[in-house]
Structures are given as C-alpha cells and as structure tokens.
C-alpha cells in the first residue's frame, strides 16, 4: 500500500505531522479477506515511521488475552489510534467503559466496505470516534446518518510494487483478482426476507442494475419517496444495515456479467480468488481459475499481467485499491467508471474505463488493450467524432453498422487484405 504518498491527506484533514516524536498505534483487530488487515497495518506503520512517528503495531484476535493487549495502553497519550474494519469499538470493560475511552487519543476506523455493514461499530458511544472511507458518497452517508462519528475523510488505499518486480507474460489474457459468490443464491436469500425488506431489496436491486453508479443510500431515498414513505435518520441507517444483501448481490451480479461478456467474446480470463468455483461460464474454454493468495502476494500475480480487470460497483464515488495495484505494477487497468475516478485519473494513462450500464462494450475495450495496436484507438475515434463517452459511441456504432467498432475494424482489415491479394 502506497501509504507514504497519502501523508498529505492526513495533514489536510487535521492529522498534522508533529514537530517532535509522538506515538501512534496501528491495530489489526480482525482478519479481513486474504489476510489484508495485517498487510495494511504494517504498511501504514512503515509510512508513519517514515514521517517521524513512534509507531506500534498491535495485532490480535478474539482468542488472545485482551486484558494483556489493552491494559498496558490505558492512560497513555497517543497522536493517533488506527484500525481497519475495527472490532475494538464494541469492546468494553466489566463496568461498561469502552476500551478505547481508556486510551488517550483519537481513534480512526478505516472502513473498507460500505459503512452499512458497520452499523454497530459506527454507532459506538465513544468519546473520540472518527472514520476513514474509500468513497466520497459513503463518507457523506456517515456524516448524515452516524452523528457519533466526529471526523471523517475519504482516502482510498494505495498499493505497492511486487517484491520480485514481475515479468510480463506474453499472453492475451485478462486478470481479475477478487471474491465471487453466485448472485442467484444471494437473490434467494433476499426472497426469504420478511416484508417490507424483501420488497425494498428487490426494487433496490432493479434500480442499481439499471444505474450502477447510483449509491445505495440515494437509491433507497428515491425508493422511499416513490412509496410515499419517510424514515428518521436512525431508522434509515438501520434499514440500510438490514439490506446488506443488495450490496453483495450487485457486486457479484456485475462481476459475473463482466466475465461473461469477455469469455463470450473469446477473450481469456484468469480468475484468482475465493468462490470462483461457483461461477458457471458460458464459454469454459476461456476461463482459468486459481486459488486465492494472501494479500501481500497478490502484487506478484498482478506484476505478471498486462491487463487487470476491476469491477467494483460498491464504490460509486471512490476507488478500489485494485486499480492502484495494477498501476503500481505496470498493468493497464480496465475499470468500471465513476465520477471520482474520472476526476482523479486520466483515461489512456494506464487506465481504460468502461461502463457497467453498457457492459456489452467491455470486450471491445479488452480486445483493443490486448492487441497492442499503434493506430488510433476506438476511444480516440469516439472523442474525435464528438463522443465524450466511449461506451455510448460503441453502442451507437453497433446500432448503425451491426458490429462493434473493433469488430468492424477487423472486418475492414480482412477485406483490405483480400483486395490487395
């Protein structure tokens, strides 16, 4: 994680670099997927040490003696206490005093999912609870619906280069690294939910499939308005927490849709992560599945790839660290677009953005990236003829000519070769 490059974000948001050495504790209180919590904690600690702080990494789990973990910290002053998807916010002493209230310092919970999953933690009655988020809309959601969170900031995770450097493989293959679950199975769970949750969730799924960039909280507000209903803020956030299956469904629906489109177009895809044995491909010959690796080794996989796919509809106004991992390891990153990415990244400089709303155009983007051609790209042509969005250009082109721009180009080349012969 390129935590060092994020030092300005802390300073700009009120966590100022000190004039003399101050102490920071970086916790890892739970194991997040692929052992990423420990990786993040140690990378962040290294970054703070480079800034001149005295940093202690504190890793533990539920089986450890928590008294032995926390009692040496009580009463001491720290510049910052940091954890990732923390469990510490819910820990209390026998007299009911929160553990964190007995340590002198601001506590920041680095939330790596939509905050709806962390309802109890963000509602903890702590003296100095703060949050870091990966998405601007999700930060705004917490500001409105979780009044106990004092300070908030948006700060997507960075990335690091592979230790071995990595040598690119000469293969026309797209790499995707991430978890998968069968969206139909998730939808069955939704169907078993009590009313009105079941109706709300099914309508929210339809809304977000139709408009993938629409944040879930905004979709829910629109839905309530359509039904002529209103919820106070505390009930709104509680309902959001209960409807977590919507977010899970949307993630896996679009991951399946993206891989389906690629293999249907006979573009090979390598899938690395848990759950992909549940994926039923429409063209199995173009799918390779690999077991998950621990997070620190994921950069080695990425370093060998030319094109890295990102599908993250749960960050509508933010960024998944997969994007920066690809860029740090010299991949071209093929990612779903959102307003935040369009603002901070420049299309064509290691990044190509496609639209989840028009996901049928994804193979065109992928094939062009893999082909390595030097002539004007479809994206350049789209901009040249007045389209600001390549996916809209591809859809319009297909409607007129019956082929995608890339397929049309290939056919024209083949015709030219026949004529020249």
pLDDT at site 402: 65
pTM of the model: 0.83
Sign of the torsion formed by the C-alpha atoms of 162, 44, 85 and 231? negative
Q: Average pLDDT of each block of 10 consecutive residues along the chain (421 residues)?
A: 36 49 95 93 96 96 91 96 97 95 98 97 97 98 98 96 73 91 97 96 96 96 96 97 97 96 93 97 94 94 94 95 95 94 88 90 77 57 56 65 66 51 41
The matching CATH number, chosen from 3.30.9.30, 3.30.460.80, 3.40.50.2000, 3.40.50.300, for 166-372 is 3.40.50.2000
Q: Using the 8-state DSSP alphabet, how is residue 265 labeled?
A: T
Question: Domain segments of the chain: what residues?
Answer: 3-154, 166-372, 376-421
> For residue 47, what is the enclosing H or E element?
helix 36-50
Reference 212, options 326, 370, 362; nearest CA is 362
Q: How far apart are CA 25 and CA 42, in angstroms?
A: 11
Torsion, Cα of 312, 314, 319, 322 (10° steps): -40
Tokens of 257: 């849709």
Q: In this predicted structure, what is the pLDDT of residue 401?
A: 56
- Reported as half-sphere exposure (CB side, CA atoms, 13 A), residue 225 has a value of 6
3-state helix vs strand vs coil in the chain, percent to 5: 50, 15, 35
Phi then psi for 304, rounded to 5 degrees?
A: -90, -5
**CB distance 287 to 259 below 8 Å:** yes
What are the backbone angles phi and psi of residue 139, rounded to the nearest 5°? -65, -45
Tell me whether the CATH fold assigned to 3-154 matches the one assigned to 166-372.
yes
Question: According to the model, what pLDDT value does residue 2 have?
Answer: 34
Q: CA separation (Å) from 409 to 375, 376, 397, 414?
A: 11, 11, 12, 9
Give me the residue label for tokens 């050495």: 21
Partnered with residue 287 across adjacent β-strands are: 269
CATH class of the domain at 3-154: alpha beta
């Amino acid at each position: 994680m390129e935590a060092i490059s994020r030092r300005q974000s802390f300073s700009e948001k009120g966590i100022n670099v000190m004039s003399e050495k101050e102490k920071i504790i970086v916790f890892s209180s739970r194991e997040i997927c692929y052992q990423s919590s420990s990786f993040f904690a140690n990378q962040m600690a290294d970054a703070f040490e480079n800034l001149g702080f005295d940093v202690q990494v504190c890793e533990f789990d539920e089986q450890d003696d928590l008294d032995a973990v926390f009692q040496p910290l009580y009463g001491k002053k720290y510049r910052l206490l940091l954890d990732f998807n923390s469990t510490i916010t819910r820990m209390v002493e026998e007299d009911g005093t929160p553990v964190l209230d007995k340590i002198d310092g601001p506590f920041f919970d680095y939330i790596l999912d939509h905050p709806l999953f962390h309802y109890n933690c963000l509602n903890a009655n702590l003296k100095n609870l703060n949050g870091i988020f990966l998405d601007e809309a999700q930060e705004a959601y917490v500001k409105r619906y979780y009044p106990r969170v004092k300070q908030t900031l948006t700060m997507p995770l960075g990335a690091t280069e592979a230790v071995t450097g990595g040598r690119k493989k000469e293969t026309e293959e797209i790499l995707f690294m991430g978890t998968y679950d069968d969206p139909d199975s998730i939808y069955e769970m939704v169907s078993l939910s009590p009313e009105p949750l079941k109706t709300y969730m099914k309508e929210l799924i339809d809304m977000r499939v139709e408009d993938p960039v629409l944040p879930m909280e905004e979709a829910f507000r629109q839905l309530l308005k359509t039904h002529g209903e209103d919820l106070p803020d505390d009930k709104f956030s509680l309902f959001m927490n209960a409807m977590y299956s919507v977010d899970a469904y949307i993630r896996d629906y679009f991951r399946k849709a993206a891989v389906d489109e690629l293999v249907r177009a006979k573009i090979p895809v390598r899938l690395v992560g848990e759950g992909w044995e549940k994926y039923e491909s429409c063209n199995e010959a173009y799918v390779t599945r690999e077991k998950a690796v621990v997070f620190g080794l994921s950069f080695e996989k990425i370093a060998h790839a030319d094109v890295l796919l990102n599908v993250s509809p749960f960050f509508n106004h933010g960024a998944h660290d997969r994007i920066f991992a690809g860029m740090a390891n010299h991949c071209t990153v093929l990612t779903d677009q959102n307003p935040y990415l369009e603002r901070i990244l420049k299309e064509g400089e290691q990044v190509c953005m496609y639209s989840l709303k028009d996901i049928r155009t994804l193979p065109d983007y992928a094939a062009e990236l893999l082909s390595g051609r030097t002539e004007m790209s479809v994206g350049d042509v789209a901009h040249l003829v007045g389209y600001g969005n390549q996916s809209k250009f591809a859809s319009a082109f297909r409607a007129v000519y019956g082929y995608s721009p890339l397929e049309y180009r290939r056919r024209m080349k083949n015709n030219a070769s026949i004529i020249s012969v």
